[in-house]
Amino acid sequence: MQIELFLFFLFSCVSAEGKDVTLPRLNDTKAAEAFINSAEVVVVGFLEGEESHGYKELLAAAKRMDSVLVAICALKEVWVDYGIKSDTITLFRKVDNHQENLVVAEANKIEVDGLMNFIIMNELRYMTEYNQVTAVGLFNSEVKTHLLLFVNKDHKEFNELKVQLEALAPEFTGKLLFVRINGAEDSNFRSLRYFGLKSKDLPRVGIYDGDSDMKWLLPEGDISTERVRDFCNAFLRGELKHKGGQEFFGLTERLHWADSILGVGPGLEWAFLWQPPTTSAKRKHVDM
């Protein structure tokens, strides 16, 4: 905790002078690595100087955003380490080990609002709240499988479940994206319907695999860390897709709807309910 606080104060250099914001400068590789590893999501402006196109806009965006740390790196020797060849504003995130580049020279126009949208859209975390903006980043990620927590924000267990799954998510970095969907939001109605759920059914946990366009629901019951971990690992081992044995793939509940949000055709309109192995033997750990 002390190290995290040290990094926070080290890299969050803000001047209260007027409305000016002073961004930390990353003057060598070690400083850049430390900054990038200091938070789930950070932004680095690989810009030659204060006169660079995009510098003032990044400064203004940083002033308006509290959730993302921003720094400047003008040293081209450091740029090489991250494949940067010209002025670029880059977002780094841990959840899928991703680097999203906005090459200044390729942008027709850089405005503060547009830059903020770029950051918010790609600001995926170990547990990302689903909305129309983050949906773009979620479905553009190379990680196509989502562990979904459907929960109403006013539910008594909301904070507990949120913290619990946020703590579990790093175990599946680069394998699954953990997504929280507020079932009380009208805009999320179609997401619930896609899983055959209604707000009154929540909280529930599901998995959506974008590569196969398949989905599964964890059976009703306690949403414990162990159950969700087993659910995720069963998917990664291929057990959820395996239809040859009831012990791995239960068909005890088949949920169908005529017009899912993705408009899938016959044969892909089903959500399967995952059942854990019936044997009491403890599973052996498998490195993924």
Answer whether the bond into residue 276 is a cis peptide, omega within 30°. Answer: no
Higher pLDDT, 249 or 49: 49
pLDDT of 115 reads 95
pTM reported for the whole predicted model = 0.77
Indicate whether 250 pLDDT > 80. Answer: no
pLDDT of 200 reads 94
Higher pLDDT, 5 or 231: 231
Closest CA to 136 of 84, 205, 128: 128
pLDDT tens-digit readout, 107-148: 888 999 999 999 999 999 999 999 989 999 999 999 999 999
Q: Taking CA 86 as the corner, what is the angle to CA 85 and CA 91, rounded to the nearest 5 degrees?
A: 90
Is residue 4 within a helix (H) or strand (E), and if so which, with residue range? helix 2-11
177-182 and 145-151 beta bridge pairing: parallel
Task: Supply 24's token pair.
Answer: 């930390």
Closest CA to 274 of 217, 233, 225, 229: 217
pLDDT of 1 reads 42
Higher pLDDT, 108 or 275: 108
Strands (DSSP E) contained in 81-203 are 88-93, 98-103, 127-129, 145-151, 177-182
pLDDT tens-digit readout, 141-196: 999 999 999 999 999 999 999 999 999 999 999 999 999 999 999 999 989 998 99
State how far the Cα of 57 lies from the Cα of 70, in Å rounded to an integer: 12
Task: Supply 158's token pair.
Answer: 């909301």
Higher pLDDT, 175 or 2: 175
pLDDT of 51 reads 93
